[in-house]
Amino acid sequence: MFEQSHSPYNPFRISVAPMMDWTDRHCRTFHRLLTKHTRLYTEMVTTGALLHGNQPRHLDFNQAEHPVALQLGGSEPGDLAACAKLGALWGYDEINLNCGCPSERVQRGSFGACLMAEPKLVADCVKAMVETVLVPVTVKHRIGIDKSESYDFVRDFVGTVADAGCTVFIAHARNAILKGLSPKQNREVPPLKYAYVYQLKRDFPALTIVLNGGVHTTVEIQQHLAHVDGVMIGREAYQNPYWLATLDRDFFGGDGDIISRDSVEAKLAIYALEQSAHGVPRHSIMRHTLGLYRGLSGARAWRRSMSQQPAWAA
């Protein structure tokens, strides 16, 4: 039903961002039906949840999801190394450290965007993971925190962490405001500064620099790829998922064939039936697909039917 990626292109060229409550394994399986090569990321998993919780629940994934990365949240080098090892043993293609989430709950755990204020600690965390696993260890971060508006802040952060062995940086081109803004507002209110991310690539040409934030169209991706190595798509990939079906053709040398929505729906039906045998509610899968027919006549009725009882499930 699925095909794995064997693209000759930079594996970080196009990716879908890790998004809490959204990019679970069912969402990623759906996205993989649409695109063979786009890199996928888990929701953030904290080190505490992995070391003291239900590991299979957090780490199990469909083998068809490759290439897929595990995003970790944490700030203790030993714990992160242990969790990176778990991720590598489970078969993930990359271990990503979250240094970009601005939520107060995450800050209370002393990780996420607040880690940008401690680049040496992040470097220690990266070093511990790099010395433990063979898969790439990457960092997702902001361009600054609170009122740190200077480009020098993110440049020095990247330089310090790169010295510890990280070669891939995914930069959300906004500051993270740690107090006073919700996570949703942090995705919208701080201004986008793409020039800072472009400058990172000029200053660190040997590193892989991926841009994230406010990307909604193929033209925008093309414009950014003139300056950086990769582009990470966020909410647009979730809210308008059929766009993903064009990415292999447009950015990975695909043959031009684009899977039809009907074919995607038919494969989803098979997947949902397989999962139902393991006790997975259909809504847990189909809630991720509500944008499949976005912009087309009848899309509202389709969303309503998927939110209730799919016709093929009767």
For the chain, what are the domain ranges?
A: 14-251, 261-313
Q: Mark whether 83 is an active-site residue.
A: no
The one catalytic residue in 101, 114, 125, 166 is: 101
Which CATH number, 3.20.20.70, 3.40.50.300, 3.40.50.720, 1.10.1240.10, labels domain 14-251? 3.20.20.70
Query: Which portions of the chain are predicted below pLDDT 70?
Result: 1-8, 105-109, 186, 299, 302-303, 306-314
pLDDT at res. 299: 67
pLDDT at res. 103: 76
- Using a pLDDT cut of 90, give the percent of the chain over it: 77
What rounded mean pLDDT belongs to the chain? Answer: 91
pLDDT at res. 14: 98
pLDDT at res. 2: 41
Element (H, E) at 16: strand 14-16
Encoded amino acid at 51, one letter: L
Look up residue 288 and give its two tokens. Answer: 């991720």
Nearest C-alpha neighbor of 44 from the set 83, 4, 1, 10: 83
Q: What beta strand segments (E) does 155-302 contain?
A: 168-176, 208-212, 230-233
pLDDT at res. 302: 67
pTM over 0.85: yes
pLDDT at res. 309: 52
The Cα 195–Cα 102 span in angstroms is 22
